Structure 1
Amino acid sequence: MAAGTNNQVFGRRKEPHVVILASGDRIRHMTIRPWMTLLTVCFLGILALGYLGATTYLVLRDNLIGATMARQARMQHEYEDRIAALRAQVDRVTSRQLLDQQVVEDKVEKLLEQQMALTSRHGKIDALLQGAGADTDLPGDGPVPTDRPKKDGNEASLPNKSAPAFASLLGSAGKQEAASNLALGYVPMTQENVADRADRLFSHMTLSLKEIEAEQLERIDELASGASATADKIAGILKRQGVPVDEQAAVQTQDAVGGPYLAPRSEQDFNTSLNELDAALTRLESVRDTARRLPFANPAPGRDITSRFGNRPDPFFGGLAMHAGIDFRAPTGTEIRTTGAGKVIAAGQSGGYGNMVEIDHGLGISTRYGHMSRVLVKVGDEVATGDVIGLSGSTGRSTGPHLHYEIRRNGDAVDPMQFLNAGMKLTPLIN
């Protein structure tokens, strides 16, 4: 009853298929299940799909390989074109860099020429100052900074013999940097940057050299003016003492000249200034030599004056008498020093002077030193300012040990105090 109910509800169960295989006397039975049928269909479908896929691959393989090769060839051509373009850019940069390097080397050569000119000028100035005995500082060829030099004397280094190597290094560095940037696929303004940096550097150096040159000319003018002013002061003092001064060194002779006007050249300006300085220093040295040779020093430094130049009571007769010099208090044996350079024209006993030395200083001026206890020079000796010529005493017409000192111009006695006072003014000017 239950079985019948189930058949009514779910339907009649499907009978399985049976395959009978007979081979001679042998008979086999094979029952075909539904899942076996499904599995067989799936297997056959997979085989069919595999066959279709393999057939499609074989058909399309040549097309795929051709397309791939075409794409690779196209990419290769594009890379080759890019490489060729980069090489062309590198060549252009290299050519530009070579030109920039040549320009830099030309500028360096010009800077070197300017430096050598300044060095030569400084050597001329040093030789001139040393020859004239001047002691001063002048701007030289020191170092040139990248900034403009300051007035406090700071200097920067100027280009030296390694400057061409510096230019080559600058060019190589710029070339390598440009090639590196090109290899990365972009071209910045490297060569322009290098050229700009070089131009700024050379501009600063050129300005520094020009300022040094201007400072040299200005300093030369200052020295020439100072030398002329000092020479004028010395000459004025000498003239007030009646000393003739050779003014030929101070006169600028005007020769007959002419020609069309042309802009001045810096080298000519420098030579003109140097000639003016040379003339001023020559004149200064001339008047200094004259002043050093004349009797402006003190014959008995630190000694008191006991009798001055002019009329005074005569120590022996009591009446007025002319005193042709000045007397210095000097104990016997005190060293007597010359007041100027010259030649001894008298040395020994001379009437009322006692032991006396007379020195000719030139220009008609002579000095006499009397009453010496001992004479230490002889006629014909050349003496310099400050040389010891004898020892003080009381020989001749004297009342006690002292030094009688006279100055004579063209044989006439003059007041020695004028020369002593002038000597105090000349000391800072001639030393």
Structure 2
Amino acid sequence: MHSHPNSAPSLPTAGLVVHKTYTIRRSTMLLGLGWLALMTACSGTAGWYILSKDDLAARMIARETTRQYAYEDRIAALRADIDRYASKALLDQDGVESRVDELATRQAELESRQSLVSALADMLQTNGIAPATKLPLRPRVAKPEEPIRASGVTSFAPLIPGKPMPAPEQQPLPIRPGSADATGSTGWQSGEAPQPPAKRVEATLTRLDEALSRTSDAQLAALREMDGKLLDTQAKLKSALAETGLNIDKMAAPATVEGGTGGPFVPVKLEASAGAFGAALNDIQPRLATLMRLKGIVQLMPVARPMNGDHDFTSNYGYRTDPFTRGLAMHTGVDFRAETGAQIVATGPGKVVAAEYNGGYGNMVEIEHANGLSTRYAHMSAISVSVGQIVKTGAVLGRVGSTGRSTGPHLHYETRINEEPVDPTRFLKAGAKLVGIFG
């Protein structure tokens, strides 16, 4: 507070309080208010910034935490995938090894069956029942030089000698995009993924499985073809032997085989899983045994012609007019027209029991065959065998002549059963039907 200029100065009075008055300008007050407002605004802005920054930091922390959790979940999922893939690889490995073992078993079974088919085919061919045929060959299975890999897992299973294993396929070299290989194909192209090892192994095993199946089918077809040939040959044999009028079931077949063979009898046994092959083999064995018996009987019977070439009959078996007495008489054989000196051959294998001059027969040879059969060759001009000699079918016995009770050169031929004469033409007709049956 300012004093008036014209007033006299007052003296201080004891005990009195003096108050001073100050005057503030309006501009100063406005400036102060403005400064106060600015500071308030700055403080509010700073507080808002600080609060906003803390919220942003909290959100960033929350986001990083969420991302970390996501990464941890992803890592856990990847570990689970790795475990699953490893388990799948092990299962694939076990599956491949199991399938290889199965193929090995099938391969061994096919080899055993092949030996049976080959033995049957050789038997039929050796006996002239069936011509030589091309038998199915077993599939050639290469042994791998490296372990089989399935889904990246190596199998170190030991290789069994003779065990079929899929041949490893070489990985083809990549061809640059657009370039052609030797076959003209562009081969690998950009963007094409190479075939996984598991698929290559699966493809190899599938091809081997198909090869084994084809071989099995071929073996079964060969077996059925042989069975059909046996049935056909057996029917022809029975038809031919029926011409003789003999009871074939009561006739004995040869019990020995030339060349010396033997050993213990071990029957063929097949597993229950043999299926159609086992059924076909079970059907073919009794038919083969029957056919071999019939063949053995045929080989012992005098069914061949007594002279080489085609010679006419001049007189049949049965009642006829006797050429000397002109009366009715029984002719116990058949006469073949032939020139003097023509060869006379044995119509079946046997033993010479007579080789001499025998009354009306003239020079005669008699051969004793199996099952009570015997044959006589008469009116010979010369005899070429002796008593006790063993002869085979086609062996020369002597020469055509006209000795004994004969009107001219010819061969008198007889067939006897237990010393009783029967019509030789029955056996000759059977022999005609048998021509070509055994090759």
TM-score range (shorter-chain normalised) is 0.5 to 0.7
Verify the 8 A CA contact 2:136 2:218 in the aligned structure 1.
no
Please list, as runs of the form range in 1=range in 2, the aligned pairs for 1:112-151 lying within 5 A after superposition: 112-132=104-124, 133=127, 134-137=130-133, 139-143=135-139
Tell me, what secondary structure is at the counterpart of 1:347? strand
By relative contact order (CA 8 Å, sep 6+), the higher-ranking structure is 2
1:401 Cα offset (Å): 1.8
Counterpart position of 2:165: none
1:303 Cα offset (Å): 2.5
Counterpart position of 1:198: 201
Counterpart position of 2:317: 309
Gaps of 5+ in 1: 1-85, 144-157, 178-186, 250-263
Tell me, what secondary structure is at the counterpart of 1:298? coil
Aligned AA (1:142): R
Q: Does 1:409 align with 2:417?
A: yes
Check 1:166–1:294 CA distance in 2 against 1; reply closer, same or farther (3 A cut): farther
Listed one character per residue, the Cα deviations across residues 254-278 of structure 1 (whole Å, up to 9, x for unaligned) are xxxxxxxxxx943365344323322
Gaps of 5+ in 2: 1-77, 155-167, 173-190, 253-270
1:403 Cα offset (Å): 0.9
Verify the 8 A CA contact 2:243 2:426 in the aligned structure 1.
no
Q: Distance in 1 between matches of 2:414 and 2:170?
A: 86
Tell me, what secondary structure is at the counterpart of 1:377? coil
Listed one character per residue, the Cα deviations across residues 207-258 of structure 1 (whole Å, up to 9, x for unaligned) are 3322322332243233224313321331233134122223899xxxxxxxxx
Aligned AA (1:344): V
Counterpart position of 1:104: 96
Tell me, what secondary structure is at the counterpart of 1:296? coil
Verify the 8 A CA contact 2:373 2:417 in the aligned structure 1.
yes
Counterpart position of 1:242: 245
Please list, as runs of the form range in 1=range in 2, the aligned pairs for 1:36-55 lying within 5 A after superposition: none
1:322 Cα offset (Å): 1.8
Counterpart position of 2:300: 293
Aligned AA (1:159): V
Equivalent residue for 1:274, pick from 265, 277, 281: 281
Check 1:248–1:289 CA distance in 2 against 1; reply closer, same or farther (3 A cut): closer
Counterpart position of 1:327: 335
Q: Distance in 1 between matches of 2:419 and 2:170?
A: 88
Check 1:247–1:124 CA distance in 2 against 1; reply closer, same or farther (3 A cut): farther
Counterpart position of 1:348: 356
Check 1:248–1:130 CA distance in 2 against 1; reply closer, same or farther (3 A cut): farther
Percent of aligned pairs with the same amino acid: 41
Q: Does 1:167 align with 2:167?
A: no
CA RMSD of aligned residues (A): 3.8
Counterpart position of 2:235: 232
Check 1:277–1:170 CA distance in 2 against 1; reply closer, same or farther (3 A cut): farther
Q: Distance in 1 between matches of 2:220 and 2:169?
A: 39
Q: Distance in 1 between matches of 2:371 and 2:92?
A: 69
1:89 Cα offset (Å): 9.9
Equivalent residue for 2:388, pick from 358, 380, 387: 380
Check 1:159–1:93 CA distance in 2 against 1; reply closer, same or farther (3 A cut): farther
Tell me, what secondary structure is at the counterpart of 1:413? strand
1:96 Cα offset (Å): 6.5
1:366 Cα offset (Å): 1.6
Verify the 8 A CA contact 2:363 2:380 in the aligned structure 1.
yes
Q: Distance in 1 between matches of 2:278 and 2:250?
A: 23
Verify the 8 A CA contact 2:301 2:348 in the aligned structure 1.
yes
Q: Distance in 2 between matches of 1:109 and 1:164?
A: 17
Verify the 8 A CA contact 1:108 1:164 in the aligned structure 2.
no
Check 1:345–1:166 CA distance in 2 against 1; reply closer, same or farther (3 A cut): farther
Q: Distance in 2 between matches of 1:168 and 1:194?
A: 7
Q: Distance in 1 between matches of 2:251 and 2:382?
A: 43
Counterpart position of 2:45: none
Aligned AA (1:206): D
Counterpart position of 2:259: none
Q: Distance in 2 between matches of 1:375 and 1:311?
A: 29
1:110 Cα offset (Å): 2.7
1:352 Cα offset (Å): 0.7
Give TM-score, length-normalised by structure 2: 0.60
Counterpart position of 1:370: 378
Listed one character per residue, the Cα deviations across residues 80-134 of structure 1 (whole Å, up to 9, x for unaligned) are xxxxxx9999999898667645543443343233222212211122223324535
Q: Distance in 2 between matches of 1:365 and 1:408?
A: 6
Q: Distance in 2 between matches of 1:139 and 1:225?
A: 16
**133-142 or 292-301: which moved more?**
133-142
Q: Distance in 2 between matches of 1:175 and 1:399?
A: 90
